[in-house]
Chains A and B, each alone.
Chain A
Amino acid sequence: MPDTGVIHDIGYQRYEGPRLGRGYAARSLYVHGIRSAYGLGRSAWAKVLPMGVLAFASMASLILVVINTQLPTQVIDYVGIASTFTYAATVFVAVVAPELVSVDLRSNLLQLYLSRPLRKSDYALTKLASLATATFLLFAIPMLIMFLGMAFNTDSGIGGVLDEVGGFAQGLVAAAIHAALLSALGLPLASLSGRRVFASGMIIALFLLTTPISGALQAFGNGALADLGGLMDPSSLLNGVDQWLFGPGIGIVRTGDFGAVYGLVTVALIALGTYLLVLRYKKVKS
């Protein structure tokens, strides 16, 4: 009886070709994240909701172009679009964020990702970036439609077009802020649960439950308390930032003289959400 087995060298070779590395893996994951946010490359049912919200927003913006060009004064500007569509964007985040992280948790895909050069924090930040980009597109595409409509309708030649470019740029900045805050609040919550039901529930609970709180504070608080009431919920907070940065186009929120506070709180919340997300993935076993 032979005492031990032997592994014969039948010419095993090492891989010596180029290795694409961490950056490539992160980029691939980022693109994949944006695609899966809109259901591209997935079943038709996965496309219905994100595409539906986008189509709804684009149609609304088309209608707004018609109203804007027919009436003597502009009823809504680019920043106004960002403020008005925040509500639809919260639904979008609540549906898409679990799609990005909960499915990976539930089907134990995370270990596979982490066996690549990708680090845990890369995974977290990449997912956050894809959610933020997808949400940004939800604002930016309707704004682009409005820009095209308004630019072709302008009566004052190239000067009118340049005015529209300025407004469009302001709108994109507002869209970026909205997308960053909503994703930084939504994704850490989604990453707590592997079930889409509960992940979506937690996110929408955060957005919906806080609205009446700030509404109540603004309705029956007084003075500074009422001015700061808008800090309590994400959509009033974002509208407050819009008003602070781009002037009172549409005064939805009472901010008083505290515009800068709204800006600071937004930045702090984005940083906090990102930090918590990275922290949450630090604990994952790989």
Chain B
Amino acid sequence: MNLTIMSLTARAMLGRKRVLMLLPMPIILIGLTLIGVTSGASDAQWGPVVFSSLGISVILPLTALIIGSSALGLEIDDGTITHLLTKPLPRSEIVLSKLAVAWLVTAVATGVPLAAAALIAGSGTLAVGLVIGAAIGGLAYSALFLALSVMTKRPVAVGLVYIVLWENILVSYVSGTRIFSVRQHATAIADSIGNTQLIDASVSVTTALVMAVIFIVVGTVGATQRLRSFALTGDAN
């Protein structure tokens, strides 16, 4: 880890107006939780809609996609990555620093609103579960999208295909593919700790943990390897 790289990345990510893009998501989450609590519907009826379908399935991957692919992707886009690469730093240190910042921002931006929503719903254990689920899921997503941003010129396009076509559509038709779906891992972890009607998971916790670790390791190692032989080419439109 390198504190200079981390602080520069954090400033590039949070110091601009575009950080406001992250604001609508928590507002919608809390708003729907309030509607759910006051609607008088049973927990099993509204909980999964808000916590799984919205919280872990949309807000977590979307935040991670934007943050994760811009942590290193913006530098590659602008060409400032050359400054980093010419410094006498191991490539793994660059990747790990970028990943750490992306993870921290994602985990805070999703974990805090999710925990707040769970507390409004009156389940303290679910709050803990969601924070841990968002942290582990956020790390897996960040590692995946960080690796994508080094490997392709269009990390967001590939990431969107993964989030929308793979995790949303394919998983609902071909159930076996769900073990490669990070959102299912995050849901399983949150469910096993939270243990309430408000959320329900479809993969086992052990599978979830093992697969999440695989995602994290493969993403980080992949990004590092790719950055070792990185060739800066022109903007291929």
Contacts and interface: CB of A to CB of B under 8 A. Distances in A.
Are A and B interaction partners?
yes
B70 A216 contact: no
B237 A220 contact: no
Interface in B78-135: none
B62 A45 contact: no
Nearest to B69: A197
Interface in B40-82: 41, 45-46, 49-50, 53-54, 58-59, 62, 65-66, 69-70, 73-74, 77
A200 B77 CA distance: 15
A67 B176 CA distance: 23
Given A201-B66, A216-B35, A49 B28 contact: no
A196 B154 contact: yes
A80 to B, nearest CB: 16
* Interface size band for B: 35 or more
B21 A213 contact: no
Given A212-B54, A220-B36, A201 B45 contact: no
B65 A201 contact: yes
Interface in A143-196: 193, 195-196
Contacts, number: 112
B14 interface: no
Given A90-B164, A195-B77, A201-B21, A212 B50 contact: yes
A6 interface: no
A215 B53 contact: yes
Contacts of A216: 32, 35-36, 46, 49-50, 54
Contact of B66 (A52, A198, A212): A198
Given A43-B236, A196-B156, A49 B161 contact: yes
B62 A205 contact: yes
A208 B164 contact: yes
A36 B161 CA distance: 19
B186 interface: no
B4 to A, nearest CB: 23
In the complex, which of the residues A204, A213, A215, A221 has the most CB atoms of chain B within 10 Å of its own CB atom?
A: A204
In the complex, which of the residues A49, A95, A208 has the most CB atoms of chain B within 10 Å of its own CB atom?
A: A208
A272 interface: no
A197 B74 contact: yes
Interface in A72-103: 87-88, 90-91, 94-95, 99, 103
B225 interface: no
Interface string A204-227: 110011011101100111000000
Contacts of B65: 201
A99 B156 CA distance: 12
A163 to B, nearest CB: 30
A198 B24 contact: no
Nearest to B235: A107
A91 B161 contact: yes
B229 interface: no
B41 A209 contact: no
A90 B161 CA distance: 11
B176 to A, nearest CB: 19
Contacts of B41: 219-220
A198 B74 CA distance: 11
A49 B158 CA distance: 8
Given A195-B74, A204-B164, A219-B45, 12 more contacts: A36-B237, A45-B152, A91-B164, A103-B237, A195-B70, A195-B77, A196-B156, A197-B156, A205-B24, A212-B54, A213-B28, A216-B54
Interface of A: 36, 42-43, 45-46, 49, 52, 56, 87-88, 90-91, 94-95, 99, 103, 107, 193, 195-198, 200-202, 204-205, 208-209, 211-213, 215-216, 219-221
Interface of B: 18, 21, 24-25, 28, 32, 35-36, 39, 41, 45-46, 49-50, 53-54, 58-59, 62, 65-66, 69-70, 73-74, 77, 152-158, 160-161, 163-165, 168-169, 235-237
Closest 5 pairs between A and B when the two form their complex, measured CB to CB = A212-B54, A220-B41, A201-B66, A200-B156, A95-B157
29 contacts: A42-B236, A45-B153, A49-B161, A56-B165, A87-B168, A87-B169, A90-B164, A91-B165, A95-B157, A95-B160, A103-B237, A195-B74, A197-B66, A200-B156, A201-B66, A201-B156, A202-B21, A204-B62, A209-B25, A209-B28, A209-B58, A209-B62, A211-B58, A212-B49, A212-B53, A216-B32, A216-B36, A219-B46, A220-B46
